[in-house]
């Protein structure tokens, strides 16, 4: 009971600000995670495409001989 008396009460505006701040932190974290995932997928796609091109050119050289 003593702890409750010592805590200052938040105003409605302060409560809304805290909620808004928490929401923006969540959104920013999700954006960051999405950008990391997109970059990783792009890197993997480029590596796969490079391997496909290399494989295709090797097959063409083999068939030509």
The verdict on pTM exceeding 0.85 is: no
Cα–Cα distance list, 52 to 48, 58, 64 (Å): 6, 10, 18
Position 64 confidence tier, pLDDT thresholds 50, 70, 90? low
Place of tokens 């480029």: 46
Buried b / exposed e across 42-52, counting CB within 10 Å, b at 16+? Answer: eeeeeeeeeee
What's the token pair of residue 54?
């290399």
CB 18 within 8 A of CB 10: yes
The separation between CA 58 and the C-alpha centre of its own chain, rounded to angstroms, equals: 37
pLDDT bracket for residue 31 (50, 70, 90): very high
* pLDDT tens, residue by residue, 1-29: 456 667 788 899 999 999 999 999 999 99
């Amino acid at each position: 009971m003593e702890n409750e008396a010592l805590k200052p009460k938040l105003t409605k505006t302060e409560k809304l600000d805290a909620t808004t701040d928490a929401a923006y932190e969540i959104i920013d974290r999700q954006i960051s995670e999405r950008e990391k995932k997109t970059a990783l997928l792009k890197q993997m796609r480029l590596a796969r495409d490079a391997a496909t091109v290399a494989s295709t050119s090797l097959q063409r050289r083999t068939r030509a001989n």
